[in-house]
Structure 1
Amino acid sequence: MRAAGTTPVIIGVGQSVDRIDAPDYQAWSAADLAAVAARAAISDAMARRDLAPYIDAIVTTRTFEDSGLEQPIFGASDNFPRSIAARLGIKPRSAFWGEGGGQSPQDLVSEFCERVAAGEFDLVLLCGAEAISTIRHAAREGRTLDFSESPGGEVEDRGANLRAFQDPLAERHGVVDAPIGYALAENARRAALGMTQADYAEHMGRLFAPLAAVARTNSAAAWDVPNYSASDLITVSPGNRWIADPYPLRLVARDQVNMGAAVVIASQRVADDLGVAPDRRVYLHGYARATEKPLLSRPDLSASPAARAAARAALKRAGLVPDAVATFDFYSCFPIAVSNVAIDEFGLSEDDPRKLSVVGGLPYFGGPGNNYSMHAIAALVPVLREAPGKAGFVGANGGFLSKYSAGVYSTIPRPWRNWSSTSLQAELDAVPAQPLLDGYDGPGTVETASVLHVRGAPEMAVVIGRTPGGLRFIARSKPGDAATIAMTHENDVLGWPVTVARSEEGLNLFVFGDG
């Protein structure tokens, strides 16, 4: 354990939003939004002295453009952390540009709490933002923006590092974007629970409707605050089109937003020196992280043991059980990301009175790229200040249930302890991967399936199945095979027989029955 003087403590949090339909819409860039949130976080500390000049490290999450997931059609900063620092009028001696993934905000908070505890830094600003809505809105209107910047200065650029999220065989068969990957896992979970499609849809609606209600209570910071019932979320309509079975639009993360969030971490000594009151301070009591096997190599497609293990470890390290936690925020890009941990691991109910999100979830509060969980932490801190001694949990997820980072927070002072996830990861890695065929010709049985829709129209069916010998394969519908796509969409095909043939292009193509 570390001496009390170097114990890291969160002293300030802030958020920003720039809605395109608001009277005061600014068309801010991501760097602008992050800077606005950072100023709010600095002010939130309520220090007796201006703490900005004492910031010795600035750390940012990665925008979707920086990660290669969006095209920078209007340009972007080539040093995102230093662009934000310039707006704040500060020159930290160190700058860090984090890797991609929704797990990164909690990862960065955990890491820089460790580094503050080690005496490497005294005062760290973490922030991030997305301006995807402004970029797409301007492009649709034919307007030109210039978000290009070269602020100069040293930065540790960690790169997008999306390799851990990639499964080349799955990608070759059309499992590229998040909705189809999560849909395959979601339908596998339904199969594991033995639920019908209708019953499972109702379960997803009941799970996410309370999140939408929470978003309405956060109207000042949320992107949108619609009044959705559980039925509204799962009933397909022109305004709630299909994305990937079993997901209509309202069950999917909304990344087209303009939002920023920031967190300030200080050592206990520096917080004292700056005059930050004890009742402004929140401590990280436990944390853990873990990485899952690639999608097709997972023995159980319906779950992420890595996410469950990381969440369980974070609570154990904080000395708590789920019933002792007052406030949660489970990453909610899709229903299974919540249910995998909240329900299947922690045993919570869909309508738990503590709520499963402190801000309102990615589809409703808003899903600003990799930075959503920074908003969760920024919202959790004031909640805990109002409930001294209570604990809050944040679970941050990246990829296709690929990486999970969990943190447990409280206002109770506690000497710092570093928590390593090395042995936790080793246990997960020791579990044998599911044997997998790259190419396959022959019969099989559907383990899980989904249909990808484009603008509401079915475009491609994908199945993951097992051979008679128990090996796993992936296959997609033949180009133009509308009948197979429709059959997959209109029926519960899990457990159905299929015949797979290898194409000249190296794809496994399936039809139902004996071909």
Structure 2
Amino acid sequence: MTNGAILPRTPVLVGVGVAWRREDDWTQALEPIDLMLEAVRSAGADSGAPTLLAEVGTIAVPRGRWRYRNPSGEIARAIGATGATTIVSSVGVLQQALVADACQAIMDGRVDSALVAGADAGYRLLRAKMGGMRAQERDQDDEPDVRLEPKAELRHPAEVAAGLTMPVGLYALMDSARRAAAGLSVGDHRDRLAARYGRFSEIAAANFDSWTRAPLDAATIRDDGPRNPMQAFPYTRAHCSTWNVDQAAALLFCSAERAAALGIDRSRWIFPVASAESNHMVPLSARADLVRSPGADATARTVLDIGGVAAADIDLIELYSCFPVAVDAFADALDLPPDRDLTITGSMAFAGGPYNNYFFQATARAAALLRQGAGRTALLSCVSGILTKQAFALWSTDPPDKGFVRRDVTTKVAASTGELTVVENYTGGGQIVGCTVLHARGETPRAIALIDTDGGARALAVSDAAETIAGMERDEWVGRTVRVMAGVLAA
């Protein structure tokens, strides 16, 4: 990065907008598309040149829990950007990929400006469901110009068959493997997570756009209770992304030369310096190594090398925080000290984790803090799936000397990632490599273990036995030798 001349095609983030609502009466809440539009118009006003919205060459939106076919087209019509290419990405596509696509298109001269926006209205859905209703959305059924889809499934069929239908259980399996590798007792590990998330809660309290601004102490976070039930041991609700939120964000980009021509205040410019991503997809149960994330390691090294900066010198850091183990994976990739703050928003647990849109909220927060003088550089990580895909984005108040640089390290990550065959309904012996206990409202807890089989494959085994469940939440089971009968842990 440099303070020198700015290349004319350098992309610049010139407008950021966020929107949120908390209406207990769901009929008074905004639909997701209206939240998006509010954030988009806010981004236009934030730039100081709202006419730029009508010029954007691309509009990209990641899919949320809504039924619209082409919200990008709805936005285009609302802001008068009738010539924009409309893009919608499915779950399983990195949110940072949409940001990088927009920046690369500007850098290459394919467009002069671009818009990325997203929203989810999970609180609206929840309040309607609590009233025995289904939240309605207006019809929006035309097709986008481009639809982005992942190349493979995020979950293995064996995971679904074992009851791992929600991400929390799969992340908790990874968490146990990391706990065992670190040599921590179950109790000490729970204390560590609770202390970290207590700090996250404090940071969220200072963020006006946080969904939860009342701080929680470590003891409340650590242990399950009526308002903080266990989800998948050791994760209580307070460790998990809060996705029942109504939140939106929009990011407005243009080239440096266009920003100058429009007279956009130079102090408002934030430069995307580098983006690195890995799109190599391996289901969790098939990963040979549950402790390190090759994708996180590779993207971290790449983005820092491009920026010519060390992780220790970054001013603002936001690590993707859907679940604690994701934070750990990215912190390890950056070799960060244990006392470093790892969020600027307050995390997805407290700031709010709108489904498939949080990364834009975090980017907007980073831009706001950089503008306020909280630092000159910001580094954000991004996840898609079950820590399946990884990305890092580096931002600065100073222009990069080579303009924006994007790298895809998928091939490198694929070459360094071990993958095992997963067998279903396994009978035989093996060693536990990850374990958790699933807790669901109104259901009996279920222990789940991921096993290295005697034959060198992987298998999932379950147990409803009370003594197994209690033992797995008290003692370290990773590393134990066990017997399995037709996918059930033997007593």
TM over 0.5: yes
Alignment of 1:108-187 (within 5 A): 108-143=98-133, 145-150=135-140, 152=142, 154-159=144-149, 161=150, 163-187=152-176
- Distance in 2 of aligned mates of 1:417 and 1:235: 45
What does residue 205 of structure 2 align with?
216
User: Which amino acid counterpart does residue 205 of structure 1 have in structure 2?
Assistant: A
CA contact (8 A) 1:388 1:412 kept: no
* 1:242 to partner: Cα distance: 0.8
Provide the C-alpha distance between the structure 1 equivalents of 2:393 and 2:70, rounded to a whole number of angstroms.
28
Partner of residue 232, structure 1: 220
> Distance in 2 between the 1:168 and 1:455 partners?
24
Alpha-carbon RMSD across the aligned residues, in angstroms, is: 2.4
Give unmatched runs, 5+ long, in structure 1: 66-75, 503-507
**Native 8 Å contact 1:107 1:289 kept in 2:** yes
**2-structure distance, mates of 1:437, 1:176:** 17
Shift of the 496–389 alpha-carbon distance from structure 1 to 2, 3 Å rule, reads closer
Query: 1:424-470 deviations in whole A, cap 9, x for unaligned?
Result: 32222123624335143212222221111102754322111223455
Q: Post-superposition shift, 1:284?
A: 1.1
Maintained 8 Å contact 2:198/2:215: no
1:77–1:83 CA contact under 8 A, matched in 2: no
Distance 2:140 2:430 in 1: 54
Deviation at 1:490, TM superposition (A): 4.4
Matched, 1:20 2:10: no
| 1:178 counterpart letter in structure 2 | P
Q: Note if 1:337 corresponds to 2:340.
A: no
- SS at structure 1 position matched to 2:130: helix
What is the CA deviation profile of residues 2-60 of structure 1, one whole-angstrom value per residue up to 9, with x for unaligned ones? Answer: 982211111010101101259x994101101111111111111113x622222222111
**In structure 2, do the counterparts of structure 1 residues 436 and 146 end up closer, same or farther at CA, with 3 Å as the change threshold?**
closer
2:37 matched to which residue of 1?
35
Answer whether contact 1:292 1:305 (CA < 8 A) is retained: no
Matches within 5 A, 1:253-332: 253-290=241-278, 291-332=280-321
Q: Deviations over 1:350-409 (max 9, x none)?
A: 432xx2111111110000011001001101112112338711001011111101111000
For structure 2, the residue ranges without an aligned partner over 5 or more in a row are none
8 Å CA contact retained: 1:380, 1:392: yes
Please tell me the residue identity of whatever aligns with 1:459: P
* Per-residue CA distance 1:269-312 (angstroms, 9 max, x = gap): 21112111111111111110013532122221122111121122
Q: Aligned equivalents of 2:354 and 2:375: distance in 1?
A: 30
Per the TM alignment, residue 412 of structure 1 is displaced from its structure 2 partner at its CA by: 0.7
Match of residue 201 from structure 1: 190
In 2, the alpha carbon distance for the partners of 1:171 and 1:141 equals 30
Is the Cα–Cα contact under 8 Å of residues 82 and 151 in structure 1 kept in the other structure?
no
AA at the equivalent of 1:53? A
Find the partner of 2:485 among 501, 508, 511. Answer: 501
Alignment counterpart, residue 239 of structure 2, candidates 242, 251, 264: 251
Distance of 1:191 and 1:197 partners within structure 2: 9
Aligned to 1:50: 51
Q: Tell me which residue corresponds to 1:96.
A: 87
Q: Is the 8 A contact 1:331 1:337 kept in 2?
A: yes
Q: Report SS of the residue matched to 1:419.
A: strand
TM-score by length of 1: 0.88
1:459 aligns with 2:455: no
Alignment partner, residue 69 of structure 1: none
What is residue 79 of structure 1 aligned with on the other side? 70
Which stretch shifts more, 194-203 or 484-493?
484-493
Query: In 2 relative to 1, CA 304–244 (structure 1 residues): closer, same or farther, beyond 3 Å?
Result: same
Question: Alpha carbons of 1:53 and 1:437: their partners in 2 closer, same or farther (altered >3 Å)?
Answer: closer
Is the 8 Å Cα contact of residues 306 and 404 (structure 1) preserved in structure 2? yes
CA distance in 2, matches of 1:399, 1:152: 27
Is contact 2:232–2:437 with CA below 8 Å preserved after alignment? yes
SS of the residue 1:401 aligns to:
coil
**2:88 and 2:144 in contact (8 A); partners too:** no
Give the paired residue count.
485
1:402 — aligned with what? 388
- Does 2:420 align with 1:435? yes
Q: How many angstroms does 1:315 deviate by? A: 1.4
Within 1, Cα distance between the matches of 2:217 and 2:455?
Answer: 45
**Partners of 1:365 and 1:127 in 2: CA distance:** 18
Match of 2:472 among 480, 488, 494: 488
Preserved contact between residue 54 and residue 79 of structure 2 (Cα < 8 Å):
no
Are 2:374 and 1:365 aligned? no
Distance in 2, matches of 1:99 and 1:277, equals 35
| Separation (CA, whole Å) in 2 of partners of 1:209 and 1:456 | 28
CA drift at 1:203: 0.9
- SS of the counterpart of 1:370? coil
TM-score by length of 2: 0.92
Give the fraction of aligned pairs with identical amino acids, expressed as a percent: 27
Secondary structure, in 3 states, of the residue corresponding to 1:176?
coil
Deviations 1:182-237 (A, max 9, x none): 00000000010011011000111122222111111113x11121211122210221
Q: Report the CA distance between 1:137 and its aligned residue.
A: 0.5
Which shifted more, 246-255 or 447-456?
A: 447-456
Query: C-alpha separation between the residues in 2 aligned to 1:144 and 1:445?
Result: 45
Task: Confirm or deny: 8 A CA contact 1:187 1:302 kept in the other structure.
Answer: no
Moved more, 261-270 or 484-493: 484-493
